[in-house]
Structure 1
Amino acid sequence: MSDRVVIVTGGMLGEWALAQLQPEDVLVGADRGALFLVRNGRMPALALGDFDSVTAEEREEVRRHSGQFADCDAVMKDLTDTEMAFNWALERRPQEIVLLGALGTRFDHSLANVHLLRKGMEQDISCTIVDPCNKIRLLGPERRTVTLAKEAYAHVSLLPLGLEASGITLLGFQYPLTNATLTLGQSLGISNVIVGETGHIEMREGHLLVIQSKDD
């Protein structure tokens, strides 16, 4: 099993997503994300979902070009296609899970996919959501620190995933914090800037979303 599983799901996708893939990745296609992989010459190790966003012909194309194929009823299911793919990845205990196409026009699905980061955190697996303008990860009891490279992202925002996150210290940022608390509904952590090559974030309690972003 590779150390990295990449889940490609049916939100915003394009050439940028292909650039994120590495040769040793285990690829999982969820619903229309599987079609995206197949149409771009990549064979998913697993294609799964209800496939309600593809035609019957496209579904058959995905089935023929996938290592494993698992479909389900579009109505009689309790999990989204992305969560089913995420659970499959968690069972294989990789070091890292990356989600592509997890953000899009459906805010409900986007927010549910962000919540999946906490499930990965609970199993001490590094999980990241990536799209053309954002890179989202989570700090929590199992992973309390992160050092970020400046990269192409102009902004770094911090939001609690819960009522509050506390003991937050920032080093290498334009707006430093020392042992601070961020609470739900507060915008204090929005749009900070890394001033050096890297920025370091520490947190003591709670769950904290770390969002690197840039304007389109």
Structure 2
Amino acid sequence: MIQSLMMTNAFIFLNGQFPSCKNFYDNLNIDSNHLFCADGGAKKALELNYIPKEVWGDFDSLDSNSLDMLKSNNVIIKTFNRDKDFTDGELLISYVSSLNYDKIYVVGGFGGRIDHTLTNINLIFKYSNLIFLDQLEKLFLVTPNFIINKNKNKRISFICFSDMVKNLTLDGFLYPLKNHTLHRGDSTCLSNIITEDTASINFTEGKLIGVLSLD
């Protein structure tokens, strides 16, 4: 089973804000067999006519009608006590990560409480194949020798999540860099533009997140 999932993408719906545009979901080509939801994210899945494979949570954000519909469709439901060490989202992300999916796309990870949003963003450094999506942007971990293909003319920003990112080099961008030290809080790498079909990012030390515009 693990082998069959190696190049398959998973989707996780959390309980944050969801894009309102139907085309956003159509473009994702979500397969319900690889859709997992945390608590209230399941309600959004049902509203979009997706029947998820599994739903995890303490179910403080899911109404009884939605829960009954999930049960009637034989959805796997894993219930947790509200008094736990991890959020519903992280428990689910940890589980899905163990299934060896190629990429895990998370929708509904932003919006609502700022503490949840910041916690979700930091999960990128714990589960490196996470990609957070909303209607306008894609947020992902950037590692040394990182390549971005087929996004020419797209806007992108790079944000430092450590004290500094050392020897940052950007090739294939409107504003290139060579062995630059990017400090936490610097705005140097906001709103760059990809100018080549293949663009590269390299650095020797630090934690870096990329935010790619989808419009």
Post-superposition shift, 1:205?
1.5
Post-superposition shift, 1:23?
3.8
> What's the counterpart of residue 209 of structure 1?
209
Relative to the length of structure 1, the TM-score reads 0.86
Choose the corresponding residue for 1:91, options 98, 102, 117: 98
Match status 1:105 vs 2:112: yes
Relative to the length of structure 2, the TM-score reads 0.86
Match status 1:131 vs 2:134: yes
SS of residue in 2 equivalent to 1:178: strand
Post-superposition shift, 1:63?
3.0
Would the alpha carbon gap of residues 164 and 208 (structure 1) be closer, same or farther in structure 2, given more than 3 Å must change? same
**Distance between the aligned counterparts of 2:184 and 2:155, measured in 1?**
20
Choose the corresponding residue for 1:10, options 6, 12, 15: 15
Query: Structure 1: which 5+ residue stretches go unaligned?
Result: none
Would the alpha carbon gap of residues 115 and 186 (structure 1) be closer, same or farther in structure 2, given more than 3 Å must change? same
**Distance between the aligned counterparts of 2:43 and 2:118, measured in 1?**
23
Would the alpha carbon gap of residues 176 and 95 (structure 1) be closer, same or farther in structure 2, given more than 3 Å must change? same
Percent identity over the alignment? 26
Instruction: Kindly report the root-mean-square deviation, in angstroms, between the aligned alpha carbons of the 2 structures.
Output: 2.2
> What's the counterpart of residue 180 of structure 1?
180
Post-superposition shift, 1:67?
3.0
**Distance between the aligned counterparts of 2:203 and 2:72, measured in 1?**
46
**Distance between the aligned counterparts of 1:203 and 1:148, measured in 2?**
18
> What's the counterpart of residue 61 of structure 2?
53
**Distance between the aligned counterparts of 2:97 and 2:214, measured in 1?**
29
Post-superposition shift, 1:70?
0.9
**Distance between the aligned counterparts of 1:110 and 1:65, measured in 2?**
31
> What's the counterpart of residue 166 of structure 1?
166
AA of the residue aligned to 2:147: V
**Distance between the aligned counterparts of 1:25 and 1:116, measured in 2?**
24
**Distance between the aligned counterparts of 2:183 and 2:201, measured in 1?**
17
Query: Structure 2: which 5+ residue stretches go unaligned?
Result: none
Post-superposition shift, 1:106?
2.2
Match status 1:145 vs 2:146: yes
**Contact kept? 1:12, 1:101, Cα under 8 Å:** yes
Alignment size in residue pairs:
207
AA of the residue aligned to 1:81: D
Post-superposition shift, 1:131?
0.6
**Distance between the aligned counterparts of 1:66 and 1:118, measured in 2?**
34
AA of the residue aligned to 2:101: P
**Distance between the aligned counterparts of 2:163 and 2:73, measured in 1?**
45
More displaced stretch, 202-211 vs 59-68: 59-68
> What's the counterpart of residue 79 of structure 1?
86
Post-superposition shift, 1:18?
4.7
